[in-house]
Structure 1
Amino acid sequence: MKRRDLFKSAFAVGAGLVGASALRPLYASELMEFKGPDVPDVDAVKVTEHCYTIPAMGPHPTPDNFGMFSNPGFVVTDAGVVVVDSGSSVQIGEMVLRQIKKITDKPVVKVINSHFHGDHWLGNHAFVNANPDVEIIAHTKCVENLKGGQDKFWFDFMQTTTNNKITGTVITMPNKTVEGGEEFEVGGVKFKLHHFGQVHTVSDIAVEVVNDKVFYTGDMVMRRVANMEDGSFRGSIDALGKIAAMDVNTFIPMHGTPDDVKLINEGKEFMETIYTNVAEMYDQGLSDFEMKPKIMALPFMQNVASQWPGYDDTLGKFIVVAIKEFEQSLFA
């Protein structure tokens, strides 16, 4: 009997025995009396005519980098600025605003949160402080997850990993939801929002800046091996294949540096390498511990992925998630 058939039999016996519970989310009702330190300025990098990115201070959140481990981006137009991801705290959001003011006196008119992980939305607080009427956009499932407990989870995570340096940040939710496919124009610059299903999360929104042929990817692709627990390997492979075929010249990830389509192709190959080999080794009866050294020995992993932050520490978790997804696929 193949391992997948054995798993099906075991699953049939145990199905329905697992329950789930959800905690009611907690929200800050007023500003805290104390506030963590300001984040040092990190100059924005101009990528194209309208598009900028602010480089992270490190690949993981630490007290030393104030939780500034992703790359907030922004697009400057004649009518205002569109921000893509607001950072991990009110302090990071304030720092982003300072960098914007170095470049333009136009106000921030829209903030787009690419998904519900905390380094992409906790900075919303700063933008609402600066402009109470600012539009904060996210996918419907992003808001659903935040209201389902991810808001407090990510606030607590960022507090813990930064030694409370995000103190003063108030949970500030998106105020406009989208489904993907929406188009809008600001100051002569055309934007398209894309949603490909479950990729890094179920709520990923990518932002295409049509005029500049630029694509802000969120965390659907990155040169970093980090969190895959909310994602899908098959969804990532499918989405990255579609993105690679788009009429785009420059891709701006929220972890890593801007690049051409090579970024997308390498991200796709990384996911394919893990998932296809896990599927093959699963039927051979190998455990995750046995799979890991075999996968790490593959040429792409040795020559490319091994250079990414988090590779040695996190690849094993990716393999565990891939095994779970493959097992679930057996019943699809």
Structure 2
Amino acid sequence: MKKVALIASVAMVFSLSLNAWTLGKLGDFKFEKVNDNVYVMHGPVMMPNKENGGFMNNPALIESKNGLIVIDPGGNYNVGKNVLAEVEKVSKKPVIAIFNTHKHGDHWFANKNFQEKYPNVKIYALAYMIEQAKDNAAETWYGILGSLTGNLEGTKPFAFPNSSVDHKETVVVDGQTFIMRHPAAGHTDTDILIEHVNSKTLFLGDNLMKNRFGAFDESSSIFGNIQILENVIAKKDGYKDYKLYVPGHGPSGKLHETLDPFLNYMKIIIAGAQKAYKNGMESYEIKEEVYNNLKDYHKWDDIEGQMGKHLMKAYSEVEMRDF
């Protein structure tokens, strides 16, 4: 009997490995236990494209006594199929809540997969995020991701968040306590940073990235993003000492190893913009100098495409502060 059980166990593991979510040469993706009852699937550190099918964020999973809580399930319906399948490999418990960190569709379009299977699931987001998503952000991101990935079949109609939260609000789900932090402006003006009290984990959304760059849109603030990370490090504005810090993109880790690289990058960008403005230069005139000051970041994904845009954004913020 023991031999039969062993063979069955090996067969099951082998079967699961055969059915792992594989994205071509990008490799296999699954939820990994990173802290107590917290699991994270770290997506490819790259821009959305046809190779990754639009999957490049970090879906997270918290297991409670009676169910599962998901944070940012992914960027389209086809991605969501695979994320949901990987969730079910961790546990067969039902998904009882979802949190969306901000309005950009690469983080929440896969809500639809979970809502189809669990029609009564609560999907939490900042009230203003829900308003913006329904107004124009969802359609804007649908267009962006569609042109970059061609992988949006089934994504519409959107599964918008259906439960709003506010700054400093505490949400308790099946014994798991979450505290919302909404900065005035950071990566966007719709962000929530989510503290999972039970495990001492902080989910920062796209206010933190590592090994890749994303865009700062018209609602964002580089100065604001810097302030957020400085407050987290200094334990100001209610932030505490956490065991794990989870970025929206890139590897999770301890405080300084995870936050310092992106924080220092933004500080170099701001310093370059300030120097250019002080000397009556345009941002493009100092771009080469700033790029040379960023040698530690030359291997980060899409630095060529994003750094100049970030510098222009920083310049406009420096200029506005002078008025």
**Shorter-chain TM-score: what band?**
0.7 to 0.9
Pairs within 5 Å for 1:143-222: 143-163=130-150, 165-170=151-156, 171-222=158-209
TM-score by length of 2: 0.85
One of 246, 255, 260 as aligned partner of 1:252: 246
Deviations 1:65-124 (A, max 9, x none): 111111111111112111110211112222221111111121111111111111111111
Tell me, in whole angstroms, the C-alpha distance in 2 between the residues paired with 1:134 and 1:187: 13
1:82 match: secondary structure: strand
1:219 match: secondary structure: helix
Tell me, in whole angstroms, the C-alpha distance in 2 between the residues paired with 1:172 and 1:184: 21
Determine the structure 1 residue equivalent to 2:285. Answer: 290
1:212 match: secondary structure: coil
Offset, 1:135:
0.5
Determine the structure 2 residue equivalent to 1:272. Answer: 267
Tell me, in whole angstroms, the C-alpha distance in 1 between the residues paired with 2:194 and 2:82: 22
> Aligned pair 1:329/2:321, yes or no?
yes
What 5-or-longer segments of structure 1 have no aligned partner?
1-37
Tell me, in whole angstroms, the C-alpha distance in 2 between the residues paired with 1:108 and 1:322: 40
- Which amino acid counterpart does residue 307 of structure 2 have in structure 1? L
Are the aligned partners of 1:80 and 1:186 in contact in 2 as well (CA < 8 Å)?
A: no
Are the aligned partners of 1:39 and 1:95 in contact in 2 as well (CA < 8 Å)?
A: no
One of 73, 77, 82 as aligned partner of 1:95: 82
One of 295, 301, 309 as aligned partner of 1:302: 295
One of 52, 60, 63 as aligned partner of 2:39: 52
Are the aligned partners of 1:89 and 1:166 in contact in 2 as well (CA < 8 Å)?
A: yes
Q: Percent identity?
A: 28
Offset, 1:162:
1.2
| Greater RCO, CA 8 A, separation 6+ | 1
Deviations 1:30-58 (A, max 9, x none): xxxxxxxx986721111111111112135
Deviations 1:126-158 (A, max 9, x none): 111011111111112212221221111111222
- Which amino acid counterpart does residue 252 of structure 1 have in structure 2? V
Tell me, in whole angstroms, the C-alpha distance in 1 between the residues paired with 2:227 and 2:70: 27
Q: How much is the aligned-residue C-alpha RMSD, in angstroms?
A: 1.7
Tell me, in whole angstroms, the C-alpha distance in 2 between the residues paired with 1:214 and 1:288: 38
Deviations 1:222-278 (A, max 9, x none): 012221123111111111111112211211112100111122122222212211331
Determine the structure 2 residue equivalent to 1:77. Answer: 64
Determine the structure 1 residue equivalent to 2:93. Answer: 106
1:256 match: secondary structure: coil
Are the aligned partners of 1:39 and 1:91 in contact in 2 as well (CA < 8 Å)?
A: no
Tell me, in whole angstroms, the C-alpha distance in 2 between the residues paired with 1:186 and 1:143: 20
TM-score by length of 1: 0.83
Tell me, in whole angstroms, the C-alpha distance in 2 between the residues paired with 1:291 and 1:142: 35
Deviations 1:165-211 (A, max 9, x none): 22111212111111221112333332211111200000111111112
Are the aligned partners of 1:116 and 1:146 in contact in 2 as well (CA < 8 Å)?
A: yes
> Aligned pair 1:227/2:215, yes or no?
yes
Total equivalences in the alignment: 290
